[in-house]
């Protein structure tokens, strides 16, 4: 510990001695050095904030392990250096798109990014103000840019910010470019960063791109007639203080919905997210104001987006007329069910169409695809992997939808990241279709369970911040690899998948077969004889390890069986958690 503290003090002193950091930053660093409690100093300087395969994400503040304009600057300089090498044949004609969300310092970081790219000879398309992540992805493709950056920490708490790096296809960077960019970023020192902007190379974009993006979103529509019949579907929308505030209502209106209400308190741009504990649509508390307004207005549907408007949340009425939050797995199930069923009905489903889900997403989706003869692909967590599958089949097969359990869905290929505006429009169409048949979204969910089997999913997040937390998470994964469970809550483990070694092991005889994936990943999965599935993975963006538990219950035959099946499943989840030492 003494050695680590000494290293942190030395690094902090280098910041104080350098002419490249401003006075306010140096004042904060001096306060850390003078403080009796050294924990803040250590956490701020014990490492350099890692530029990972998706970019940067961390707590804002001074220090090498923090999000600030200097860390953003070095990341951007490294990214620019790599692009100049990767596109050496056209280095005089390179362009990037830069966007940002509503978070504190997001505009500062976006302008810093734009300035550095321009100083390196790039044409920069900088959004005039906050915009949804999917629009940034769309703009990269639409403008033929070679790369892009979106400054956002997505749904993280207010203390965080982030930096998402995109490639020319509008997707977050993958191999070999991800490792190449990381290497370049790691070589950059603060002295090498070109902070002085060439404003002649920076072009502000906004309304025209909004229009083009909205036109692309309209092409997601499957059945315009059902929208015409149910155009007055009563919809309440919350922007969660973020980037969906203007575009989501506009997109809904462009589809033909004309009874849209917004949560006024959450339409205010606010990087402190003052109306919610956390701006995460996975947290029920974040939907409180929307449900309250929905009750007052007698709404059919309440929807919300996270701060950068790539994730969505859906709230519908249950059998008793009370609000029920549709979880991420159920969201994917509804989208896939409707896409398959209505494309079949309208004669739009083709043999070459394919769907994608992540490996931790419910297996009910796999059953839907199997029963309907539609190709479904499994990929790693993160929409860059869904985008990878789209790219692999570009021009040969048609992508028609894909999603993951963390409240993300992409219903078309004009964008290569999860897309809440497009998905909200499609869920409104699904609600209109259900209403057209005398059903609610809840009724539709029950229909899906009865047709394809009941499944209950539960995620456990074990948070371990700081260096000691990272060490503990690594030890947990090593333990599970060395001593895999044979029984999970009374269910026998039949198959073990280790995506780090890319080996699948049959528990009964120890037989191994290779797993076909594009690269290794630090993920473990256990499949039980009764259909239960448990996945374990450290988060790539937050200091936590995640356990994804999926439980089946074959007894659900009608909607009336749902409550009993749910109760049994929750009891089973508790037993599995106990088996894993999570309780």
Question: Which residues are identified as catalytic?
Answer: 154
* 36 burial type by CB count under 10 A (0-12 exposed, 13-18 middle, 19+ buried): exposed
Residue 255 sits at the vertex; the CA angle it makes with 250 and 260, to the nearest 5 degrees, is 55
Residue 391 has, within 13 A of its CA and on its CB side, a CA count of 18
Q: How, if at all, do strands 533-538 and 524-528 pair? A: antiparallel
CA dihedral 59, 65, 66, 72 (to 10 degrees): -130
Q: Which of 15, 49, 8 is nearest to 29 (CA)?
A: 15
Name the token pair of 534.
């448990």
Q: Mapping DSSP to helix (H, G, I), strand (E, B) and coil, where does residue 239 land?
A: coil
- 368 vs 451: CA distance, rounded Å: 9
- 58 vs 150: CA distance, rounded Å: 14
- 19 vs 10: CA distance, rounded Å: 16
Cα→Cα distances 74→48, 243, 276, 438, 449, Å: 11, 26, 33, 57, 50
Q: Which of 441, 461, 486 is nearest to 546 (CA)?
A: 461
- 27 vs 426: CA distance, rounded Å: 50
* 563 burial type by CB count under 10 A (0-12 exposed, 13-18 middle, 19+ buried): exposed
Residues 6 or more apart in contact with residue 447 via CB below 8 angstroms: 439, 559
**Complete edge-to-edge strand list for the sheet that includes strand 55-59:** 55-59, 160-167, 147-151, 95-100, 123-127, 202-205
DSSP tally for the chain: helices H, then strands E: 18, 23
Please give the helix or strand (H or E) that residue 459 lies within, else none. Answer: strand 454-463
């Amino acid at each position: 510990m003494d050695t680590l503290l000494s290293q942190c003090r030395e690094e902090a002193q280098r910041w104080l001695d350098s002419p490249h950091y401003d006075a306010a930053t140096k004042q904060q660093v001096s306060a850390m050095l003078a403080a009796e409690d050294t924990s803040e100093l250590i956490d701020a300087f014990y490492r350099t904030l890692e530029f990972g395969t998706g970019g940067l994400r961390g707590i804002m503040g001074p220090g090498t392990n923090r999000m600030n304009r200097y860390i953003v600057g070095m990341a951007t300089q490294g990214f620019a250096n790599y692009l100049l090498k990767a596109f050496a044949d056209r280095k005089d004609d390179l362009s990037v798109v830069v966007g940002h969300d509503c978070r504190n310092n997001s505009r500062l970081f976006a302008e810093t990014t734009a300035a550095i790219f321009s100083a390196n000879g790039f044409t920069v398309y900088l959004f005039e103000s906050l915009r949804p992540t999917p629009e940034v992805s769309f703009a990269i493709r639409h403008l033929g840019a070679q790369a892009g950056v979106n400054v956002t920490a997505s749904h993280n708490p207010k203390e965080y910010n982030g930096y998402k790096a995109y490639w020319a296809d509008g997707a977050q960077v993958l191999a070999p470019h991800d490792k190449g960019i990381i290497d370049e970023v790691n070589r950059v020192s603060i002295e090498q960063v070109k902070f002085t902007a060439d404003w002649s190379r920076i072009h502000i974009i906004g309304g025209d791109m909004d229009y083009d993006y909205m036109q692309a979103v309209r092409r997601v529509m499957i059945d315009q007639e059902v929208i015409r019949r149910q155009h007055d579907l009563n919809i309440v929308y919350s922007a969660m203080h973020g980037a969906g505030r203007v575009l989501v209502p506009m997109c809904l209106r462009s589809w033909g919905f004309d009874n849209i209400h917004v949560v006024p308190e959450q339409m205010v741009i606010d990087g402190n997210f003052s109306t919610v504990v956390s701006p995460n649509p996975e947290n029920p508390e974040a939907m409180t104001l929307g449900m309250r307004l929905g009750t007052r207005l007698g709404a059919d549907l309440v929807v919300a987006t996270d701060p950068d408007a790539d994730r969505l949340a859906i709230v519908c009425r249950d059998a008793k007329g009370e609000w029920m939050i549709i979880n991420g797995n159920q969201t994917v199930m509804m989208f896939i069910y409707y896409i398959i069923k209505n494309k079949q009905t309208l004669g739009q489903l083709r043999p070459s169409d394919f769907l994608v889900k992540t490996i931790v997403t419910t297996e009910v989706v796999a059953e839907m695809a199997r029963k309907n003869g539609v190709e479904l692909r499994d990929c790693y967590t993160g929409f860059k992997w869904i985008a990878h599958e789209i790219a692999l089949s570009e021009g040969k097969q048609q992508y028609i939808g894909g999603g993951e359990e963390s409240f993300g869905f992409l219903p078309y290929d004009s964008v290569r990241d999860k897309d809440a505006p497009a998905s909200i429009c499609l869920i409104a169409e699904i609600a209109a279709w259900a209403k057209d048949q005398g059903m609610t979204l809840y009724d539709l969910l029950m229909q899906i369970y009865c047709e394809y089997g009941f499944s209950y999913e539960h995620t456990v997040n074990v948070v371990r911040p700081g260096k000691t937390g990272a060490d503990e998470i690594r030890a947990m994964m090593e333990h599970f690899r060395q001593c895999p469970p044979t029984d999970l809550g009374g269910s026998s483990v039949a198959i073990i998948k280790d995506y780090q070694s890319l080996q699948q092991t049959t528990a009964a005889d120890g037989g191994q077969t290779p797993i076909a994936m594009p690269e290794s990943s630090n993920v473990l999965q256990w499949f039980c004889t009764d259909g239960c599935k448990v996945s374990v993975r450290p988060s790539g963006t937050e200091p936590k390890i995640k356990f994804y538990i999926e439980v089946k219950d074959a007894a659900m035959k009608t909607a009336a069986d749902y409550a009993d099946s749910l109760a049994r499943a929750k009891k089973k989840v508790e037993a599995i958690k106990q088996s894993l030492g999570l309780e």
